[in-house]
Structure 1
Amino acid sequence: MEGMIELASILILSVLAQWLAWKIKVPAIIPLIMIGLALGPLSTFFTPYGDKLLDGDQIFSGDLLFAFVSISVGIILFEGGLTLKLKDIRHQAGVVRNLLIFGPIITLGLGGLAAHYLLGLNYRLAFLFGALIIVSGPTVVIPILRNTRPNERINNVLKWEGIVIDPIGALIAVLVYEFIQIGHFENADTIEVLKTFFITIASGVFVGGLAALFMRWILLKNRIPGYLRNVVALGLVIFAFSFSEMISHEAGLMAATFMGIVVANIKIEEFKKILSFKEDISIILISVLFILLSSRIDMVQLEKLGWDAVLLFGVVVLIIRPLIVWLSTLGSKFNWREIIFMAWVGPKGIVAAAVASLFALQLSNTTDAPIDAEQAELILPLTFLVIVGTVVLQGGTAKPLAKLLKVQRAEPKGFLLAGANENSRFLANFLKQYDVQVTLADTSQANIREAQRMGFDVYEGNILGDNVFEDLDLTNIGRLMALTSSSEVNNLANKYFAEEFGEENVYRLCSKKELELKDIDLPRNVLFGADVDYLNLAQAIRQHKDMAVDSCQDREEYDSILKANRGSIIPLFILRKEEDPMVVSRDLPQFEKGMKLAYIAEAH
């Protein structure tokens, strides 16, 4: 009964932590770890008998805990592999490629040496620690970038580094762990170690690749119904993980990661549906794992870290990261201000903690040497120290540092248009003439294809989806026009993006009902004078094709344009000298000299 209550508590707290992270705009990793530590080791100071309020070992005992963590990490690594598209690596800027080359090598080498000499870890565990802190991850980088708003060059480099290095770092960590685990036994000769290592890696790659190809085959041949696709994909990941473990111990993580990489790089029509792992299973597993595993840490382990661990953290932040960025930017166009900022921002993420937890658990269970077991127990709290330290320190100081270095980008003026329909394409085409960045979002393949044919950036997905802020590049986007045919979607889109862009920068079309009810008080953000709905606008565009532009330097001229056209026009944009077009909403702007009104006649 007690275990059931603790498990239910973890699930409830996981949701609470994710909500709290969204509310205060921090990476979810911070509240998740803090809750786990508060209810785990730190709670022993307040309970009568020094027991933990929450202890993962009370819920899952022995091999069951190891099995749950192993399979969960395998699924998380599969999802990480899904983000690694080879074409993204091939076409990225030289700095990103350098970060992906120098980053793992320097972090593994210097991180391992620092852990050995500062904390006295043996070389195997020290280099395992070095491998674990390679990864960064979009779940920690993107919230920091969104809050800091560095210039476009910095934003692109850090974003792509965070996305691509996640599965690469996890893969390296798995390789290092498997190699040291195979060579753990004193009497194992080098040839035997290398042979076992090769079999482990080969079996993981073979099973993972085969599972990915089988997934592609059953999806292409339509062998399973739509509602079972995600379930079958999950089942295949678990099967590949378990089967490769039967062939060679510790090959499961390699199989899961490689399966994700293959799936991401072969043509599967339902690929975006498979990515729902990101929104569903992975979020649940990551949240549960963080609270569960951080609650398992004992105060004794935390106390053992001491000042040497803080010094190691300083080496990671102040020596290793700056060295990586300096080498990666040699010969590039980045100035010293940008290099300093990128050298400071390198937070560690969720995959590092998940993989570290698994390895620490396995090492403590398999080693017979008391010294090795004691050192293995340090891996988890040490990794958590680096994760929490980098996220809190760098996340909290990134914005003032960007301001001090003057690397923040100007206030974004681009438009996100909800809908890629004919209305959106017409308005986007007009904005394009004034060099305004426009991104259209839609789920209709016909609308998407036509918008892409016209040369627009298009987001293929639900504008109200959970991961829209991660998947959309909002670097130069600061305003929203909700232009779908659904008034419910338009209303929700405005509410969804108001917190990101500000209420004064989100607009929507009037609904047909609002037009019919003349007595209601319409909100200020209703588009185009609050006299037109989706159908009216579409009919006007089909009939007239082009906009008219007249001088509009004051309210008198604005009213005269309406009067001259007998009120049968749709005012769309206010054009200003040397500034981007301004959307005409219910609240008219302060008119100035040189302004013009862009409008279209209503359909007859």
Structure 2
Amino acid sequence: MIELASLIGLGFFAQWLGWKIKVPAILPLILVGLIVGPFSTFFTLDGEKFIDGDKIFHGELLFDVVNLSVGLILFEGGLTLKLKETKNIGNVIWRLLIFGTIITLIGGAIATHYIMGFSYRIALLFGALIIVSGPTVVGPLLRNIKPNRKINTILKWEGILIDPIGALVAILIFDFILSGHSNELFTLFALKGFLFLTLSGLFTGGIAAFITVRMLKNKALLPDHLKNTVILGAVIGTFGFSDVLHEESGLLAVTIYGMIIGNSKIANLKSLMHFKEDVTLILISFLFVMLSSRMDINDLMALANGKSILLFIVIIYIIRPLVVLFSTIGTNLSWKERFFISYISPRGIVAAGVASLFTLKLTSGSAPITDIQVEEAKMLLPLTFMIIIGTVVIQGLTAKPLAKALNVLRKEPNGILFLGASEVGLFIAKILHRYKIPVLMSDTSEQNIKEAKRHGITTYEGSILSEGALEEVDFSKYGQLFSTTSNNEINILGNRTVSSELGMNKVFRLASKLEVETNALQKPQHLLFQGKYDFIGLTNLIRRKHIIKIVKSSQYYDKEESFQLLSTFDLPIFIIHSNRRVTPITDSLDEINEEDEIVYLEFKDVKKGS
């Protein structure tokens, strides 16, 4: 029990450490596992590990735990795949999946055979293991790099879909090794296995998704408070049933299951995704530490040679660029985008998990392979972890500077989303619209929407907080939210909901009456108009005669000087920067730079602060 608890606790510590030192969490997870596992043998008198995953999960139990955990991770990844994202680049994604599988399998096998001296059977298995990328590594890497939308979508889809494909190919190669049918034509054997695997996965995942969608849309069948729990059980059941139909088809089934649910119009899908993200975080934290602790120090020491490094270089810097080259011929991707995509190919938990499973089975003594091949099989896991650590470290540290040098980073959107198209919101939106700042106004009132349209402003009739709206809004255009309804609770809810997409420092709202009137009250940050006016006060104010003015700052002002400058204006509204980005006037305003334009209202009949 103490070892199991330690694994979980150390996993969470490694996640925190990764966040603290700003590196992908997978790196500290593996390092912690190595320290308490194989490296700890240097510090014990009997040469035993501090923690050994093999002592916690034995034989088939280890296989089942890892397999099911990988399935849950792939389901969560499937939930995030939106078909509308692939518009104009879908052909690139499918080419990457096809060419990536074929070139990596064959190229990886040939490189492993000639560089490491492995037999073709074990070399083919290693080539299959390195096909997979991994959403658990690609996702955090992309969030840190923030490449443009095309690159982000391509790498995200590849990272999720290549996992079940790579796992299936690895399973077929593994089954071929175990079959012992050396005289049987391999292509026929592979096609037969692939056909049954695919049909089992597609059938089970599709049926499970159909039933689940019907249940989620009928509250009489499934109440909200049971949704997450029931779906978690359904994912596990789908995985198990698919494996009963055909062994190892569960990974494909749960990926298809997640994709269908993720693209269905289901209310409160966001809460389900957050729940699955939490489950995935726990599983990843536990699995990486556990799998790292299983490795043998002698196998790790065997990697300390030029052959392993040469194999790494060939896989990452020759095979991967070839995959991208063949996959992007004739597409509208620039050479810079192609170069960057070819540079990003980290491996993750699926590669580690599948390598652990096959190593366990091939070295158990029951597999029909020679003693030499058993020794080769022992190297599969260390070699896979070498690829994982190498890609995470190198790409994690260098990808963002490379993206910046190639100019493929995502441009910061300067558009503004409005929650509420009432008089106050429309007043601000019209000024932004006049200065050609993209604006989208959301409101449930048909009259408010009509009025906004009359002024030529883009609208969304309905709540921007609904699941459908969050899916439909193009956040590549709109980078901030102004919540300007008359209901303070809705404004707070709006900021909290949309902050998951934009970030807490990109959402703003009107102050409540209490926040305006109570001077002693500690006001929250990001209140529009410095929290001096609530909805009613601002409505009364803008109905009076006023002139919209703009003045360009002639010098730099620090935070204190900025507020002194703003106090000279009747009603400062926002600042337009030279890159056409907008900063609303709030208490969290840091500075005003030279050439910034301050937009404000001047009143003839209103005293300041009224």
Matched, 1:354 2:353: yes
SS in 1 for 2:379: helix
| AA of the residue aligned to 2:414 | G
Name the CA shift for 1:309/1:514 in 2 (closer, same or farther; >3 Å). Answer: same
CA contact (8 A) 2:70 2:349 kept: no
Q: What residue in structure 2 maps to residue 229 of structure 1?
A: 227
Query: What is the aligned partner in structure 2 of residue 289 from structure 1?
Result: 287
Between the aligned partners of 1:131 and 1:419, the Cα distance in structure 2 is 49
In structure 1, C-alpha distance between the alignment counterparts of 2:290 and 2:472, rounded to whole Å: 29
Secondary structure of 1:285's aligned partner: helix
Q: Return the alpha-carbon distance in structure 1 between the equivalents of residues 198 and 247 of structure 2.
A: 10
What is the match of residue 389 of structure 2? 388
* CA contact 1:553–1:591 (8 Å) conserved in 2: no
Q: For residue 80 of structure 1, what is the amino acid of its counterpart?
A: G
Equivalent-residue separation in structure 2 for 1:490 and 1:273 (angstroms): 14
CA distance in 2: counterparts of 1:20 and 1:488, whole angstroms = 34
Distance of aligned partners of 1:311 and 1:547 in 2 relative to their CA distance in 1, 3 Å threshold: farther
Q: Distance in 2 between matches of 1:63 and 1:9?
A: 22
After TM superposition, list the pairs within 5 Å mapping 1:148-159 onto structure 2: 148-150=145-147, 155-159=148-152
Q: Kindly state the Cα deviation for residue 487 of structure 1 after the two structures are TM-superposed.
A: 10
Query: What is the CA–CA distance in structure 2 between the aligned matches of 1:533 and 1:512, rounded to whole Å?
Result: 5
Measured at CA, do residues 381 and 516 of structure 1 come closer, stay the same or move farther in structure 2, by a change above 3 Å?
A: same
Q: Do 1:98 and 1:328's aligned partners in 2 also have CA atoms closer than 8 Å?
A: yes
Cross-structure match for 2:208: 211
Counterparts of 1:81-92 in structure 2 under 5 Å?
Answer: 81-92=78-89
The aligned residue for residue 311 of structure 1 is 310
Aligned pair in 2 of structure 1 residues 109, 536: CA closer, same or farther (>3 Å)? farther
Query: Structure 2 regions of 5+ residues with no counterpart?
Result: 554-561
CA–CA distance in structure 2, aligned partners of residues 146 and 57 of structure 1: 34
Contact 1:529 1:571 in 2 (8 A): no
Q: 1:161 aligns with which of 126, 149, 154?
A: 154
Note the alpha carbon deviations across 1:254-285, whole angstroms, 9 max, x for none: 33233223333445445434323532221111
Moved more, 12-21 or 532-541: 532-541
Alignment partner of 1:111 out of 103, 108, 113: 108
Aligned equivalent of 1:52, options 25, 40, 49: 49
Please tell me whether the aligned partners of residues 552 and 558 of structure 1 are also in contact (alpha carbons under 8 angstroms).
Answer: no
Q: How does 1:371-386 map to 2 (within 5 A)?
A: 371-386=372-387
In 2, are the aligned partners of 1:490 and 1:509 still within 8 Å (CA)? no
Q: SS of the residue aligned with 2:47?
A: coil
Q: Indicate conservation of the 8 Å contact 1:414/1:438, yes or no.
A: no
Cα distance, 1:330–1:438 mapped onto 2, change above 3 Å? farther
Between the aligned partners of 1:251 and 1:87, the Cα distance in structure 2 is: 27
Q: In the alignment, is the contact (CA less than 8 A) between 1:438 and 1:456 conserved in 2?
A: no
SS at match of 2:3: helix
Shift of 1:91: 4.0
Is 2:170 aligned against 1:177?
yes
Question: Counterparts of 1:26-425 in structure 2 under 5 Å?
Answer: 26-92=23-89, 95-96=92-93, 98-150=95-147, 155-183=148-176, 184-187=178-181, 189-190=184-185, 194-222=191-219, 223-269=221-267, 271-305=269-303, 306-332=305-331, 336-365=335-364, 367-369=367-369, 370-405=371-406, 412=412, 414=414, 419=419, 422=422
Aligned length: 574
Contact residue 155 and residue 341 of structure 2 kept, 8 A:
no
Comparing 340-349 and 162-171, the one that deviates more: 340-349
Q: CA offset at residue 416 of structure 1?
A: 6.6
Among all aligned residue pairs of Structure 1 and Structure 2, give the percentage whose two residues are the same amino acid.
Answer: 40
Distance of 1:125 and 1:135 partners within structure 2: 17
How far the C-alpha of 1:297 sits from its partner, in A, is 0.8
Q: Is the 8 A contact 2:174 2:358 kept in 1?
A: no
Matched, 1:571 2:565: no
SS in 2 for 1:128: helix
Distance 1:435 1:138 in 2: 38
Of 578, 597, 600, the match for 2:599: 597
The residue identity in structure 2 corresponding to 1:372 is Q
Structure 2 distance, partners of 1:90, 1:492, is: 29
> How big is the shift at 1:519?
5.6
In the TM superposition, what are the counterparts of 1:509-520 in structure 2 within 5 Å?
A: 509-518=510-519
More deviation in 361-370 or 576-585? 576-585
CA separation of 1:398 and 1:518: change in aligned 2, threshold 3 A:
same
2:454 matched to 1:454? no
Q: Give the distance between the partners of 2:236 and 2:246, measured in 1 at CA.
A: 15
Q: In the alignment, residue 186 of structure 1 is paired with which amino acid?
A: G
Structure 1 residue 513 displacement after superposition: 3.5
Partners of 2:426 and 2:118 lie apart in 1 by: 61
Q: TM-score, normalised by structure 1?
A: 0.79
Contact 2:125 2:174 in 1 (8 A): no
- Describe how 1:574-585 pairs up with structure 2 within 5 A: 574-575=575-576, 579-585=580-586
3-state SS of paired residue (1:348): coil
Whether the 8 Å CA contact 1:481–1:506 is kept in 2: the answer is yes
Q: Given residue 397 of structure 1, which amino acid in structure 2 is its aligned partner?
A: T
Map 1:421-570 → 2, pairs under 5 A: 422=422, 427=428, 430-436=431-437, 454=459, 485-486=488-489, 489=492, 509-518=510-519, 526-537=527-538, 548-552=547-551, 562=570, 570=571
Distance 1:335 1:194 in 2: 36
CA offsets per residue over residues 18-45 of structure 1, 9 Å max, x none?
2222233322211111111111111111
Q: CA deviation at 1:396?
A: 0.9
**Separation in structure 2 between the aligned mates of residue 489 and residue 384 of structure 1, nearest angstrom:** 45
Matched-pair contact (CA < 8 Å) for 1:219–1:270 = no
For residue 344 of structure 1, what is the amino acid of its counterpart? Y
Please state how far the C-alpha of 1:315 moved relative to its aligned partner. Answer: 0.8
Normalised by the length of structure 2, the TM-score is: 0.79
Contact 1:95 1:329 in 2 (8 A): yes
Alignment-mate amino acid for residue 160 of structure 2: P
Residues 109-142 of structure 1 deviation map (CA, whole Å, 9 limit, x = unaligned):
3122212222233334333333333333444334
- Partner-residue secondary structure (3-state), 1:358: helix
Match of 1:15 in 2: 12
Q: Which residue of 2 aligns with 1:566?
A: none
Letter in 1 for 2:352: A
Structure 1 residues 416 and 18, CA, compared in 2 at 3 Å: closer, same or farther? farther
Secondary structure in 2 matching 1:25: coil
Task: Please say if residues 138 and 159 of structure 1, whose CA atoms lie closer than 8 Å, have aligned partners that are also in contact.
Answer: no
The verdict on how the C-alpha distance between 1:29 and 1:540 changes in structure 2, with shifts beyond 3 A counting, is: farther
Aligned-partner Cα distance in 1 for 2:519–2:153: 50
The two structures, once aligned, show a CA RMSD in angstroms of 4.5
1:371 is displaced (CA, Å) by 3.2
Find the residue that maps to 2:385 and give its secondary structure.
helix
Query: What CA distance in whole angstroms lies between the structure 1 residues aligned with 2:279 and 2:565?
Result: 58
